[in-house]
Amino acid sequence: MKVLKFGGTSVGSIESILEVKKIVEAQQEPVIVVVSALGGITDQLYHVSNLAASGDPTYIDAMQAIVKRHIDVVNGVVPAEKRTQVTTTITDLLEELTNIMKGIFLLQDLTQKITDSIVSYGERASSSIVGQVIDNAVTYDSRKFIKTVPQFTKHIVDFHTTNALIKQQFANEQKVVVCGGFISSDTRTNVVTNLGRGGSDYTAAILAAALKASVLEIWTDVDGFMTADPRIISNTYVIDKLSFIEAMELCNFGAKVIYPPTIYPAYHKNIPIRIKNTFNPSAPGTYISNDRTTDTVKAIKGISSINDTCLITVQGLGMVGVIGVNYRIFKALAKNGISVFLVSQAASENNTSFAVKNSDADLAVKALDEEFAREIELGEMNHAVAERDLATVAIVGENMKRIPGIAGKLFGTLGRNGINVIACAQGASETNISFVTDLKSLRKALNVIHDSFFLSDYQVLNVFLTGTGTVGGSLLDQIRQQQPKLMAKKGLKLNVVGIANAEKALFTREGIDLETYKEEIEAKGKPTSPQLLRDEILGMNIFNSVFVDCTASPEVATIYKDLLSNNVSVVAANKIAASSEYENYAELKSIASKRGIKFLFETNVGAGLPIMNTINNLINSGDRILKMEAVLSGTLNYIFNTLSAENTLSKTIRMAKEAGYSEPDPRIDLSGKDVIRKLIILSREAGYRVEQSDVECNLFIPENYFKGSLEDFWNTIGEMDAQFEQHRQRLETEHKRLRFVATMEEGKCSVGLQEVDQRHPLYDLEGSNNILMITTERYNDYPMIIKGYGAGAGVTAAGVFADIISIANIR
Ligand code: ADP
Ligand code: ASP
Ligand code: MG
């Protein structure tokens, strides 16, 4: 014999009840079918009774909607010949309920006892309907055999009486018995009670255990027990096997799929549980049994969470070494019927913290302050403190026992993502590590844990990008093209969750379609500013996230600090931050390193060339950088390589701008400002504390050209053409070339124009290329040379892309 339980969604509509009929009628052996109320009805019954009790006359409409929903279902599922009779039964039942509601409205009074009676109508109605839909089924009223006794404010199952009554009731085996879940009655008084919200699962388990069923099937609306709550995490998947212990740990901790007390009766009688999907019956589901062997190498099986958490702390130096303090704490709580689901005490013994539901907090504090009134008065202990609106998360799996370092990995992952752990606990059985955090960090915590324990088939890196000009635009194209490959080959999902241009910004957790992002930003974006970007990004509090700055904006650079301080990595093509005051640069790097995240700016120098990485590798491996000589301006190099009799200075500047090599304002290149910034960044990365003002700058265009507006500059720069042409002709006869060279020697920096001859390594430098010669203690007689494209949207975007990828923890 099997017990099949169908949840609220499974019996919530005409179509779903017809599915249930099919599933049950296809069974070969006798079955007991336990059903919940039609989906959502229990909530509505609580709601309508509260309306009535508060004197709100709209309770009538709400009640009528409940009646109508049931009648519609009857009309849709009950065969014509039985319909009138079933309609009468349901109408009478709900008529009775409507009268009770009327009484509550008139008296404006509602007791727990009456509420318990009211909510029982949901399962009474649903079981009557389903019993008439399934061929050859009989319907039993569960209140007759599921018996409870009061305990504090709850009702607990009186197993002794219940088991005897079940055996009696089910003595004659039927092909199909349908009964309502959740509902019960008091052993002594027969007053209607229930097993608690979600309790239909428990009813089914009690029946299965009492009658030694071969299996307990929980039919619901998902394919099985998933690695985490699918409503919070998108890439969860079904766990095919769980041990009873794992299932207990997972559902006790809030996973909704099974009502927690359900596991014990099945475990006790060794009855396997299968979770199945009514809407996808061929899916294998999750099998829960006493088999504790596991075929997965994953350290944890699943994650579970409760958002209703209040942490209560009892503290006092007077607790240290005193026997019986914890006994008194838990005795006081138990006396008041308060359930504790996490306990944490440090070895110092001067405080004990434990987690309860928010609604139990006031009572718990009162009970503890009464219990310890004398100690509080003597100053040996403090008043109990309640911290509300927290969440509890648990990671679960029998494999944890075998794998060291799980707790380290868990807390490391949380730390890197800026998630604060307020309290934690690990049982000695090592199948569960639980911790308490802020409610607002819950989603992020679940996501990062799911990600870092490889529960996900792939990892996600969430990207916010600002600046959709040449570099940003090209980067988005590259990401779009590369996304499928990264997913297939590296298990990395690059999810672009925010894009901002100069006017508008668009954010979505699900990721923006990079085929249509331009139109989408135009249509749905909101007006943006760096502050808005910061607030949105921090507000979304999304896990594994990186902010990518493809602008040249000083204002955008000011938000890095807040982002890094909140564990959002930063990748900057923008040079402002890394070349700003040394203190600022050093602070940003230090925040990133303390928080275990990254602040990367490889493309600040030499576009996509691996310069910063190389310098870092040299230094990290113990080398010392003594000297650097470099051509770092793709724009200037392009200009000097392009100058000819036809291409005057002013013309080549325009050409550089049009080719996308120059900064938006080319004077930043011509004044050497851009090269100075790059040299500063390089020198800092090489270990020298330098400021832009320390760089000796030898200008090759008189300073007055840089003072007016950009328009003035374009209008007057032609004046320099003749002088440059003369200079060029002389160099041509001397076989020399002009190079704008940046030099750093033991921390002393300078930039300026040099004439180099054919033997000089800087002579052959084509187009807009860059070159960097690094002399170190190891690379001494022959400096290391890095050379190649130093500008251009494509290579710069690729460099930014590489920085982004290096942040992802690729498998
Ligand atoms: P029923 O009404 O069938 O009893 P429940 O609502 O009690 O169903 O439980 C199923 C729901 O539990 C799913 O629809 C899903 O949204 C939610 N859920 C939460 N955590 C998990 C999890 N780890 N695995 C599967 N479902 C989960
Ligand atoms: N109908 C009850 C509830 O909604 C019991 C159940 O669905 O399991 O809580
Ligand atoms: Mg349920």
Q: Are 238 and 277 in contact (CB under 8 A)?
A: no
* Residue owning the nearest CA to atom 20 of ligand 1: 229
546 lines ligand 2 (CB under 6 A): no
Which tokens belong to 145? 């055999």
pLDDT band at 348 (very low <50, low <70, confident <90, very high): low
657 lines ligand 1 (CB under 6 A): no
Mutate to test the pocket of ligand 1, among 182, 222, 301 (most ligand atoms within 8 A of CB): 222
Nearest to 748 by CA among 695, 679, 691: 695
Give dist(CA 448, CA 405) in Å, integer.
17
CA of 184 to the centre of ligand 2 (A): 13
pLDDT band at 784 (very low <50, low <70, confident <90, very high): very high
Ligand 2, atom nearest to 197 Cα: 9
DSSP for 199-224? THHHHHHHHHHHTT-SEEEEEESSSS
Q: List Cα–Cα distances, 88 to 68, 71, 83, 177, 604, in angstroms.
A: 13, 10, 9, 21, 79
Q: List Cα–Cα distances, 281 to 16, 217, 537, in angstroms.
A: 12, 12, 41
- Residue 254 confidence (pLDDT) above 70: no
Partner residues linked to 247 by β-bridges: none
198 lines ligand 2 (CB under 6 A): yes
CA of 521 to the centre of ligand 3 (A): 41
Position 295 scores a pLDDT of: 66
Which tokens belong to 567? 């564990």
258 lines ligand 2 (CB under 6 A): no
Ligand 2, atom nearest to 196 Cα: 9
Enumerate residues 6+ apart whose C-beta is below 8 A from 157.
Answer: 146, 147, 148, 184, 195, 202, 206
CA of 40 to the centre of ligand 1 (A): 14
Mutate to test the pocket of ligand 2, among 33, 41, 193, 197 (most ligand atoms within 8 A of CB): 197
pLDDT band at 255 (very low <50, low <70, confident <90, very high): low
751 lines ligand 2 (CB under 6 A): no
Enumerate residues 6+ apart whose C-beta is below 8 A from 158.
Answer: 147, 148, 149, 187
CA of 270 to the centre of ligand 2 (A): 25
Mean pLDDT, the chain, rounded, equals 93
Nearest to 176 by CA among 135, 220, 133, 124: 135
770 lines ligand 1 (CB under 6 A): no
Amino acid at 710: L
Q: Are 29 and 1 in contact (CB under 8 A)?
A: yes
Q: List Cα–Cα distances, 783 to 199, 441, 719, 756, in angstroms.
A: 75, 50, 40, 18
Which tokens belong to 765? 């430098």
Query: Which ligand lies nearest the alpha carbon of 42?
Result: 2
* Residue owning the nearest CA to atom 9 of ligand 1: 257
Give dist(CA 534, CA 554) in Å, integer.
14
Which tokens belong to 44? 């509505």
Contacts 24+ apart (CB under 8 A), 292-297: 292/243, 292/245, 292/398, 294/241, 294/243, 294/397, 294/398, 294/399, 295/241, 296/399, 297/399
Q: What is the mean pLDDT of residues 419-425?
A: 91
Nearest to 35 by CA among 117, 124, 116, 118: 124
Question: Checking phi first, is residue 598 left (phi over 0); if not, alpha (psi -120 to 50) or beta?
Answer: beta
DSSP H or E stretch at residue 436: strand 432-438
Q: What is the mean pLDDT of residues 235-257?
A: 86
Helices (H) and strands (E) in the chain, counts: 29, 31
CA of 198 to the centre of ligand 3 (A): 5
- Residue 810 confidence (pLDDT) above 60: no
What Rg value do the Cα atoms of the chain yield, rounded? 36
CA of 304 to the centre of ligand 3 (A): 15
Nearest-10 Cα torsion for 519, 524, 527, 532: -110
Residue whose tokens read 């310890």: 372
The segment with the largest mean pLDDT, out of 9-23, 240-254, 312-326, is: 9-23
Nearest to 717 by CA among 649, 780, 785, 641: 649
More confident residue, 810 or 78: 78
- Summarize pLDDT for 175-196 with one digit per residue, the tens: 999 999 999 999 999 999 999 9
Ligand 1, atom nearest to 255 Cα: 20
- Summarize pLDDT for 29-61 with one digit per residue, the tens: 999 999 999 999 999 999 999 999 999 999 999
Q: List Cα–Cα distances, 253 to 256, 434, 547, in angstroms.
A: 9, 9, 34
Strand order in the sheet with 183-186: 154-157, 147-151, 183-186, 192-194
Mutate to test the pocket of ligand 2, among 200, 202, 219, 275 (most ligand atoms within 8 A of CB): 200
* Residue owning the nearest CA to atom 6 of ligand 2: 198
Q: List Cα–Cα distances, 79 to 32, 123, 177, in angstroms.
A: 21, 21, 18
230 lines ligand 1 (CB under 6 A): yes
Instruction: Give the chain's end-to-end CA distance (angstroms, integer).
Output: 47
Query: Which ligand lies nearest the alpha carbon of 37?
Result: 2
Nearest to 70 by CA among 111, 129, 28, 23: 129
256 lines ligand 1 (CB under 6 A): yes
pTM of the model: 0.73
Say if strands 154-157 and 176-180 run parallel, antiparallel, or are unpaired. Answer: unpaired
632 lines ligand 2 (CB under 6 A): no
- Residue 624 confidence (pLDDT) above 60: yes
Position 296 scores a pLDDT of: 66
The segment with the largest mean pLDDT, out of 265-274, 290-299, 430-439, is: 265-274
37 lines ligand 2 (CB under 6 A): yes
Nearest to 537 by CA among 513, 584, 570: 570
Ligand 2, atom nearest to 182 Cα: 5
Position 762 scores a pLDDT of: 92
Nearest to 720 by CA among 707, 706, 739, 701: 701
Give dist(CA 738, CA 749) in Å, integer.
19
Q: Are 800 and 571 in contact (CB under 8 A)?
A: yes
pLDDT band at 811 (very low <50, low <70, confident <90, very high): very low
CA of 39 to the centre of ligand 2 (A): 8
Q: List Cα–Cα distances, 669 to 738, 770, 783, in angstroms.
A: 15, 14, 26
CA of 200 to the centre of ligand 2 (A): 6
Q: List Cα–Cα distances, 687 to 280, 582, 598, 632, 635, in angstroms.
A: 61, 12, 18, 19, 27
Give dist(CA 558, CA 576) in Å, integer.
9
Give dist(CA 270, CA 282) in Å, integer.
25
Give dist(CA 749, CA 629) in Å, integer.
10
What are the residue ranges of helices labelled H in 718-766? Answer: 721-733
Amino acid at 144: K
Q: Supply angle C-alpha 101, 103, 107, rounded to 5.
A: 120
DSSP E strand stretches across 678-806: 696-698, 736-745, 748-757, 769-776, 784-789
CA of 622 to the centre of ligand 1 (A): 55
199 lines ligand 2 (CB under 6 A): yes
Chain-centroid distance of CA 439 in Å reads: 13
Query: Which ligand lies nearest the alpha carbon of 182?
Result: 2
Say if strands 423-426 and 459-466 run parallel, antiparallel, or are unpaired. Answer: unpaired
Mutate to test the pocket of ligand 1, among 11, 16, 203, 256 (most ligand atoms within 8 A of CB): 256
Please state, as a whole number, how many other Cβ atoms lie within 10 Å of the Cβ of residue 429.
Answer: 11
38 lines ligand 1 (CB under 6 A): no
Query: Which ligand lies nearest the alpha carbon of 198?
Result: 2
467 lines ligand 2 (CB under 6 A): no
Query: Which ligand lies nearest the alpha carbon of 194?
Result: 2
Q: Supply angle C-alpha 560, 561, 566, rounded to 5.
A: 95
Query: Which ligand lies nearest the alpha carbon of 218?
Result: 1
- Residue 474 confidence (pLDDT) above 60: yes
DSSP H or E stretch at residue 308: strand 302-315
- Measured in degrees and rounded to the nearest 5, phi and psi for residue 226 equal -105, 165
Enumerate residues 6+ apart whose C-beta is below 8 A from 285.
Answer: 223, 224, 238, 274, 275, 276, 277
- Measured in degrees and rounded to the nearest 5, phi and psi for residue 179 equal -140, 155
Mutate to test the pocket of ligand 2, among 35, 126, 182 (most ligand atoms within 8 A of CB): 182
Give 614: exposed, middle or buried? Use CB within 10 Å, 0-12, 13-18, 19+: middle
41 lines ligand 1 (CB under 6 A): no
Task: Tell me the catalytic residues.
Answer: 678
pLDDT band at 345 (very low <50, low <70, confident <90, very high): confident
CA of 119 to the centre of ligand 2 (A): 9
Give 711: exposed, middle or buried? Use CB within 10 Å, 0-12, 13-18, 19+: exposed
CA of 179 to the centre of ligand 3 (A): 16
Position 89 scores a pLDDT of: 96
Which tokens belong to 2? 């099997």
225 lines ligand 1 (CB under 6 A): yes
Position 417 scores a pLDDT of: 85
82 lines ligand 2 (CB under 6 A): no
Q: Are 133 and 77 in contact (CB under 8 A)?
A: yes
- Summarize pLDDT for 536-569 with one digit per residue, the tens: 999 998 888 999 999 999 999 999 999 999 999 9
Partner residues linked to 407 by β-bridges: none
